[in-house]
């Protein structure tokens, strides 16, 4: 069996597996190494936000997740009483989907195996080294040593990432100051509202259905309890007593599926790339479990990195495009850090001034524009990449506000009058060129790398506006637009 690959991914959680899916979709030879012998069974991350569902829809598999989760049009921000309203957002997925991480991970692994990804469990990676041409990964499978070589490697190996440590990348941020207990339980005396947040002098409580029709995710911070490390034992009785003090009566939790303690520790890798090795997911950023964002941002990290690595490996883009992974995604990690710290501050302060601030901010969320801005932020729909991936000789001023922005799955009218949707053309992970007027520059040797879609004139103004063509990246963001009469374009390697 060959020990040489195009890319080695260390870590078979949702982030590492999705990166492997993207690479395998592009016919890249990828190996995934995971120290655990079995998939994670705990629910852990419970929320799939709308942008992550769009990521899955871009590859034609969103229904696999939708069929097993529970959609919710509202979501809490920092435990404030007024929920964020996702129903107003422009997407086919204007909601969050409650789905246990174990299910999410299983579905992504099934996709990876369909694409032929080589996943090897029980492989503990102990060293990662690189030179000018390759990366060498070594470790043990039980007592048996192994060694593999690849052109590139990616560490998706969690908060204590061995890859990050081997690269001596600083993991800067804030140490833990508060602890929060999370549990997935059945409730014999549930509240009337299926989604509940409550903060008072006794502490903070958040409650939401887990998505299986039986269990609820319950999160509590006890105002009277001192800080406890994540390793400190936690019991169902502790969770039940704290929840009862905050809510005012016993919710009668039972049959815990999972109980764990989290903190407000927040850290961000100083860089996401060192030479031929990259970081993604928790290896690059850890945050308090507020807003259900960590896994979602990690999967979107993987989506951003996958097609870029594949382009370089296949020779359709230069190595410089790999630098854009950090320039595009690390600012998202910074925003995630600020967002979750702000939410945790709102959820973990119980004195009268803090409670007054919460009431004031909850009132602000009743202003539609404010609510929508935070909903965009939490859902991932608001992410945009301001710098174009490719430069052109002509003036880019007319592209501001367009290039780098996400496209939802809009309806298209083709030149022959038939109707379809945009995401249909992105399922193969290729670029898509939407054009109303065919020009000589469109007939380039790049048609093997791009799906060229001819649209009916005047019928797609909601998407194209006054543009003659729009080039869409494999991850669904606008790369370039051309106005009518502008022959400038982007050249790709054949």
Give the helix/strand (H/E) hosting 237: helix 236-247
Tokens of residue 224, six digits: 């009277």
Fold annotation for 179-263? Alpha-Beta Plaits (3.30.70)
pLDDT at 485: 53
DSSP-H helix ranges across 115-235? 162-166
pLDDT at 121: 97
pLDDT at 444: 38
pLDDT band at 396 (very low <50, low <70, confident <90, very high): very low
The b/e string for 320-355 (b: 16+ C-beta within 10 A; e otherwise) is ebbebbbebbbebbeebbebbbbbbbbbbbbeeeee
Segment of 84-93, 207-216, 484-493 carrying the highest mean pLDDT? 84-93
Q: Residues near 356 by Cβ (< 8 Å), separated by ≥ 6?
A: none
Task: Report the distance separating Cα 411 and Cα 367, nearest Å.
Answer: 30
83-117 pLDDT, tens per residue? 999 999 999 999 999 998 999 999 999 999 999 99
Place of tokens 């019991």: 235
Lowest mean pLDDT: which of 227-231, 377-381, 471-475, 486-490? 486-490
CATH classification number, 397-483, choose in 2.10.25.10, 3.40.50.150, 3.40.30.120, 3.90.110.10: 3.40.30.120
Lowest mean pLDDT: which of 13-27, 39-53, 113-127? 39-53
406-451 pLDDT, tens per residue? 999 989 999 999 999 999 999 999 999 999 865 444 433 345 678 9
- Residue predicted with more confidence, 323 or 387: 323
pLDDT band at 402 (very low <50, low <70, confident <90, very high): low
Strands annotated E in 15-160 = 30-34, 47-48, 70-72, 74-75, 84-85, 96-98, 118-121, 123-130, 135-141, 144-155
Residues facing 128 on adjacent strands = 137
Does residue 104 sit in helix, strand or coil? Answer: helix
Q: Residues near 486 by Cβ (< 8 Å), separated by ≥ 6?
A: 394, 468
pLDDT at 418: 93
pLDDT at 428: 95
pLDDT band at 63 (very low <50, low <70, confident <90, very high): very high
Question: In this model, does residue 465 exceed pLDDT 70?
Answer: yes
* % of the chain beyond a pLDDT of 90: 74
Distance of CA 263 to the CA centre of its chain: 21
Place of tokens 């054949």: 494
The DSSP letter of residue 284 is T
Question: In this model, does residue 213 exceed pLDDT 90?
Answer: no
Task: Report the distance separating Cα 218 and Cα 216, nearest Å.
Answer: 6
pLDDT at 488: 43
pLDDT at 480: 85
Residue 415 burial (C-beta neighbours within 10 Å; 0-12, 13-18, 19+): middle
343-372 pLDDT, tens per residue? 999 999 999 999 999 999 999 999 999 999
Question: In this model, does residue 395 exceed pLDDT 80?
Answer: no
pLDDT at 448: 62
pLDDT at 344: 92
Domain residue extents for the chain: 4-175+266-379, 179-263, 397-483
135-181 pLDDT, tens per residue? 999 999 999 999 999 999 999 999 999 999 999 999 999 999 888 99
pLDDT band at 404 (very low <50, low <70, confident <90, very high): confident
Query: What average pLDDT does range 276-282 have in this prediction?
Result: 98
Please name which of 137, 156, 145 lies closest in space to residue 23, comparing C-alpha atoms.
156
- Residue predicted with more confidence, 447 or 260: 260
**Domain 4-175+266-379, CATH homologous superfamily name and number:** FAD/NAD(P)-binding domain (3.50.50.60)
Count of Cβ atoms closer than 10 Å to residue 396 Cβ? 14
Please name which of 99, 87, 101, 95 lies closest in space to residue 41, comparing C-alpha atoms.
101
Task: Report the distance separating Cα 494 and Cα 492, nearest Å.
Answer: 6
Q: What is the pTM of this model?
A: 0.92
The DSSP letter of residue 363 is H
Tokens of residue 481, six digits: 């637009």
pLDDT at 438: 56
């Amino acid at each position: 069996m060959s020990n040489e690959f195009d890319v080695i991914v260390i870590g078979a959680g949702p982030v590492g597996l999705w990166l492997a899916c993207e690479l395998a979709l592009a016919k890249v030879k990828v190996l995934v190494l995971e120290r655990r012998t079995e998939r994670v069974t705990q629910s852990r991350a419970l929320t799939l936000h709308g942008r992550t569902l769009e990521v899955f829809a871009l590859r034609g598999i969103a229904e696999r997740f939708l069929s097993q989760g529970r959609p919710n049009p509202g979501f809490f921000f920092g435990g404030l009483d007024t929920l964020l309203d996702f129903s107003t957002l422009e997407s086919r997925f204007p909601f969050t989907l409650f789905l246990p991480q174990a299910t999410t991970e299983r579905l992504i692994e099934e996709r990876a195996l369909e694409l032929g990804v080589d996943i090897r469990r029980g492989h503990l990676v102990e060293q990662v080294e690189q030179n000018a041409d390759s990366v060498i990964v070594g470790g043990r499978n039980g007592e048996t040593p192994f060694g593999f070589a690849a052109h590139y490697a990616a560490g998706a190996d969690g908060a204590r990432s061995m890859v990050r440590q081997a690269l001596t990348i600083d993991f800067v941020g804030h140490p833990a100051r508060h602890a929060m207990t999370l549990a997935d339980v059945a409730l014999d005396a549930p509240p009337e509202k299926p989604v509940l947040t409550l903060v008072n002098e006794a502490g903070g409580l958040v409650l939401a259905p887990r998505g299986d029709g039986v269990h609820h995710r319950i999160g509590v911070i006890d105002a009277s309890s001192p800080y406890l490390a994540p390793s400190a034992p936690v019991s169902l009785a502790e969770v039940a007593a704290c929840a009862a003090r905050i809510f005012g009566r016993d919710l009668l939790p039972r049959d815990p599926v999972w109980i764990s303690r989290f903190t407000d520790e927040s850290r961000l890798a100083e860089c996401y790339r060192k030479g031929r090795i990259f970081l993604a997911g928790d290896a690059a950023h850890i945050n308090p479990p507020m807003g259900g964002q960590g896994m979602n941002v990690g999967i979107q990290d993987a989506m951003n990195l996958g097609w870029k690595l594949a382009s370089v490996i296949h020779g359709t883009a230069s190595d410089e495009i790999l630098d854009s992974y950090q320039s595009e995604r690390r600012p998202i990690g910074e925003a995630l850090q600020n967002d979750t710290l702000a939410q945790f501050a709102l959820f973990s302060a119980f004195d009268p001034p803090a409670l007054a601030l919460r009431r004031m901010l909850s009132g602000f969320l009743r202003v539609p524009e404010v609510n929508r801005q935070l909903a965009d932020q939490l859902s991932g729909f608001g992410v945009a990449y301001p710098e174009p991936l490719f430069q052109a000789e002509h003036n880019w001023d007319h592209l501001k506000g367009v290039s780098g922005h996400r496209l939802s799955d809009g309806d298209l009218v083709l030149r022959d009058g038939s109707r379809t949707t945009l995401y249909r053309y992105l399922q193969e992970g290729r670029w898509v060129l939407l054009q109303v007027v065919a020009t000589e520059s469109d007939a380039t040797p790049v048609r093997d790398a791009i799906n060229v879609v001819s649209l009916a004139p005047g019928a797609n103004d909601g998407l194209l506006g006054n543009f003659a063509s729009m080039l869409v990246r494999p991850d669904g963001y606008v790369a370039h637009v051309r106005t009518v009469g502008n022959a400038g374009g982007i050249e790709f390697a054949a």
